Structure 1
Amino acid sequence: MRLTILGGGGFRVPLVYRALLEDHGKGRVTHVTLHDLDPQRMAAIARVLAALAEGVPDAPAVRVTTDFEEAVTGADFIFSAIRVGGLDGRAIDERVALAEGVVGQETVGAGGIAYGLRTVPVARQLAQKIAWLAPDAWVINFTNPAGMVTEAMSPFLGDRVIGICDSPVGLGRRVAGALGVDPASVWLDYAGLNHLGWLRGVWAGGRDLLPELMRDEDALTSFEEGKLFGADWLRTIGHVPNEYLHYYYFAREAVDAARAAADTRGAVLIKQQDRFYGHTDTHPFRSWENTRLERETTYMADARDAAGAGDRASTDLQSGGYERVALALMRAIALDERTTLILNVRGRGVLGTLDPDAVVEVPCFVDANGARPVTVEPLTGHAAGLVAAVKSVEHDVIEAATTGSRSVALRAFATHPLVDSARVAARLLERYEAELPQLAYLSGRS
């Protein structure tokens, strides 16, 4: 199989290649093409991949190119892992939001809207080109905000674009560990949107183990989400939320912690990655691995500080998340190895209140025909309301990015649950337009 990675100079690309190196089965990926607009970053990643491949006789061949048509033509699978505006854009997303006293995380709240407004136009262009140049390729979207971007690409690619995220997998693994069961032996009743979902049941042997976890104080507070949300809140809502819901349930504390930090997450990553990309000539893999561990250690540090959750567990610092999901997804489609994965796909009405084309994050059956959402119990109560509100915002971002309407972009900011004032929304949009040249396409028309 031939795999193309758009954003091939991205820091997490070696995770994907390392997973490919461990796959020696029939139908494995034999050729990897890296595409990036920054040849220096791509060359640095290529050196890491070469170091990983040393001593592996059947390592997938790697080529690099800045030519998009060359990169995607003939590909069986295309990973979209672009970052429009780079980490500098992410730092602006965070800083502008925090200056207005609202959450600025890259996929949540004002920061997520700004990121979506500059990413969706590019993602739609890429999808249109892929549909023309590689109509038989499957596109696996890593680009954040993952659900929104997947939905923006789907008019051109249909069900051949699938979004993935490692958050549900990590949550399921941690909860299974707290219950003392094998993660591979349980069925996860999980539903929502990307970075806005809830684990509602953990099924094994015909019974739900989640109530048992809720009764065990020590087990409930032994893993990341238990520490982030606290046992009392988890029992109150009766589910285990995706870690990103900390920004919704504890928004004020999250903003205070982010403001108190020396740097925003984007600024931290800029420093980490500048050191890496500038020093990959002598020991490329060692340099990358040290930076990866530093990156994982500081992941969601502001949320953990706000919750008093302490340092991340050592088990959470190891890789094996989204790259494993991607590999399982590719093998299921290419070889008809039927499996079930939590993915971002068009929901076909499985969550009830959303339209059929809305992309949701739910368990999916995957085989040679692609991914199909499993029928799940509808979301209820505050979860249903929150998902409906955020999906409406996502639709506004996609509409603004498609039509250039500034008023629709303003509505996206003003109606997001984490932006508490239309006047704040107006100031946010003005500041983002002033600092992000990618938003120059917005106009005053309705």
Structure 2
Amino acid sequence: MKLAILGGGGFRVPLVYEAVATAATGLTVDEIALHDVDPGRLGTISAVIEGLGERLLAEGRASSLPRVRSTTALREAVTGADFVFSAVRVGGAEARTVDERVALGLGLLGQETIGPGGLAYALRTLPVALEIAAAVAELAPRAWVINFTNPAGIVTEAMRGVLGDRVVGICDTPIGLVRRVGRLLGVDLVAGERGAEVDYVGLNHLGWLRSVRIDGVERLPGLLADDAALEQIEEARLIGKDWVRADGALPNEYLFYYLHTTAAIERITGAATTRGEFLAKQQGDFYLAAGTAGASADGCCTSPLDLWRSTLHEREATYMAESRDEERREEDIAGGGYQEVALRLMTAIATGREERMILDVGNAPAGGETPPAGRIVPELPSDAVIEVLCRVDGAGVHPLPVAPVELGRLGLMSSLRASERAILEAARTGSREAAWQGFSTHPLVSSPELGRALLEGYTAGHPRIAALLGAG
């Protein structure tokens, strides 16, 4: 079995390799193709993976290792692949800083996936995602594409237009929320222990856990009423216990940026650096140091693997730091991440061993317009990508029904998806008008004047966007 990892020079790729090499889910992968457009980063991560593989063997955590080869040629990487993990970051962390600073300069939220920064990220990423989809369609037509690339919802939607239902988006934040709730209730909600039923619905980074039933009994209201329990749920601490009680649901942690926008902007602007600037420096330092790793002046040896591990915890502990008054708790960092979600998804499809997972999938099967009654969320288009609980097996991914979506949630979902679809049109056609419309109608912008200023700022700051929209 061949797995292609696109964005193979990315910092978190060794986490994927470790999960695959240790056969964490019982699935054996024979070959991993790492692809990245940056040969230096690719070489560094390859060195980390080589050291990690040796350590896994020495510790007895792996009995054999998959073959790993690196390439800067996309076509070589995907040819004959059974699964493709897409985790590309077009422009790197440096481009992310432009996304953040242009928005902040206009008094708007500057964040990677939420608000105008997320739209700018999408606009420069979507052409690359469509190129990847076309290559997979030609060279690995039976492959499943598991998309980690942000903004995951709109990128997955674009790729589905080429590859249909064989593209699935993943995110670890919904499953993290469900696991926290399950720990409190003493039940593995993901596995469906004791007949557990979970109702989670939304878009990527905009979703809500609305119901948790165990042995046929609804447990969420009791949880929301319990202060001590809510203190153990990261999302409730971030967004506010009183609000989640009033709302009657536990939100994805990214709702912080919609519900506390002003506070988020103030915290970001009050910090010495934005998150993108922090990561650009942190990762830049890591790749530089790892590329010259060896004996230090005091005779101590530091390997690329050791440097990577020492950098990883700081990165994870400071995730969404602008939303917290404290460093992330260890229990909120532990417990797997997107690599585990991806591997479980891959294993279920490859082996037929059923899993239940929250995934980004089409509102209806690809291949044509489905009447509202046949859609998961009837009010949204058939080809919209939504985030819901799914059953996965050897026949594919099967979204499970959800209860009707409340008007307020539906309105926010519709507004965001309309904005993102205008950006997708701009990426496909090069239309400045569509891009302007997308920026202007985002629910955290809602202004043609600010939308135009954003468009001008991102065109000036991103050569890729300038070239796409004919301004280069």
Class of the TM-score when normalised by the shorter of the 2 chains: over 0.9
- The correspondence of residues 5-404 of structure 1 with structure 2, limited to 5 A, is 5-23=5-23, 27-54=27-54, 55=57, 56-183=62-189, 184=191, 185=193, 186-280=196-290, 281-282=293-294, 283-304=303-324, 308=325, 310-318=326-334, 320-348=336-364, 349-404=375-430
Q: What is the Cα deviation at residue 313 of structure 1?
A: 0.8
In 2, the alpha carbon distance for the partners of 1:63 and 1:318 equals: 29
TM-score by length of 1: 0.96
Q: What is the Cα deviation at residue 212 of structure 1?
A: 1.3
Matched positions, count:
441
Equivalent residue for 2:297? none
Q: Is the 1:37–1:66 contact (alpha carbons within 8 Å) kept by the matching residues of 2?
A: yes
Equivalent residue for 1:411? 437
TM-aligned CA distance change 1:74 to 1:430, over 3 Å: same
TM-score by length of 2: 0.91
In 1, the alpha carbon distance for the partners of 2:198 and 2:12 equals: 26
Q: What is the Cα deviation at residue 188 of structure 1?
A: 2.5
In 2, the alpha carbon distance for the partners of 1:438 and 1:429 equals: 13
What does the per-residue CA deviation read over 1:342-392, in whole Å, with 9 as the maximum and x for residues that have no partner? 111111120121111111110111112221211111211211110011111
SS in 1 for 2:390: strand
TM-aligned CA distance change 1:8 to 1:422, over 3 Å: same
Q: Quick one: which amino acid aligns to residue 220 of structure 1? A: L
SS in 2 for 1:440: helix
Q: What is the Cα deviation at residue 126 of structure 1?
A: 1.1
In 2, the alpha carbon distance for the partners of 1:302 and 1:432 equals: 23
In 2, the alpha carbon distance for the partners of 1:251 and 1:90 equals: 19
Structure 1: 5+ residue runs without aligned partners? none
Q: Quick one: which amino acid aligns to residue 336 of structure 2? A: G
In 2, the alpha carbon distance for the partners of 1:202 and 1:275 equals: 44
What does the per-residue CA deviation read over 1:34-61, in whole Å, with 9 as the maximum and x for residues that have no partner? 0011111011111111111112431111
In 2, the alpha carbon distance for the partners of 1:442 and 1:41 equals: 26
Q: Quick one: which amino acid aligns to residue 79 of structure 2? A: T
TM-aligned CA distance change 1:139 to 1:407, over 3 Å: same
In 1, the alpha carbon distance for the partners of 2:228 and 2:181 equals: 12
In 2, the alpha carbon distance for the partners of 1:333 and 1:95 equals: 41
Q: Is the 1:90–1:266 contact (alpha carbons within 8 Å) kept by the matching residues of 2?
A: yes
SS in 2 for 1:278: helix
What does the per-residue CA deviation read over 1:142-181, in whole Å, with 9 as the maximum and x for residues that have no partner? 0000010000011110011111000101111122223343
TM-aligned CA distance change 1:24 to 1:355, over 3 Å: closer
Q: Is the 1:91–1:267 contact (alpha carbons within 8 Å) kept by the matching residues of 2?
A: yes
What does the per-residue CA deviation read over 1:274-310, in whole Å, with 9 as the maximum and x for residues that have no partner? 1211122341221111111000111000111xxx4x2
Q: What is the Cα deviation at residue 223 of structure 1?
A: 2.3
Q: Is the 2:25–2:344 contact (alpha carbons within 8 Å) kept by the matching residues of 1?
A: no
Structure 2: 5+ residue runs without aligned partners? 295-302, 365-374
In 2, the alpha carbon distance for the partners of 1:37 and 1:410 equals: 30
Q: Quick one: which amino acid aligns to residue 350 of structure 2? A: A
Q: Is the 1:297–1:317 contact (alpha carbons within 8 Å) kept by the matching residues of 2?
A: yes
In 2, the alpha carbon distance for the partners of 1:80 and 1:187 equals: 30
Equivalent residue for 2:298? none
Q: What is the Cα deviation at residue 24 of structure 1?
A: 6.7
What does the per-residue CA deviation read over 1:185-222, in whole Å, with 9 as the maximum and x for residues that have no partner? 34321000000000111222112211111111111122
Higher mean alpha-carbon deviation, 198-207 vs 431-440, is at 198-207
In 2, the alpha carbon distance for the partners of 1:443 and 1:13 equals: 32
Q: Quick one: which amino acid aligns to residue 41 of structure 2? A: R
In 2, the alpha carbon distance for the partners of 1:319 and 1:66 equals: 32
In 1, the alpha carbon distance for the partners of 2:205 and 2:111 equals: 11
Q: Is the 1:151–1:359 contact (alpha carbons within 8 Å) kept by the matching residues of 2?
A: yes
Q: Is the 2:348–2:394 contact (alpha carbons within 8 Å) kept by the matching residues of 1?
A: yes
Q: Is the 1:3–1:32 contact (alpha carbons within 8 Å) kept by the matching residues of 2?
A: yes
TM-aligned CA distance change 1:105 to 1:420, over 3 Å: same
In 2, the alpha carbon distance for the partners of 1:167 and 1:134 equals: 30
What does the per-residue CA deviation read over 1:62-119, in whole Å, with 9 as the maximum and x for residues that have no partner? 1101111111111100111111111111011011111111112111110011011111
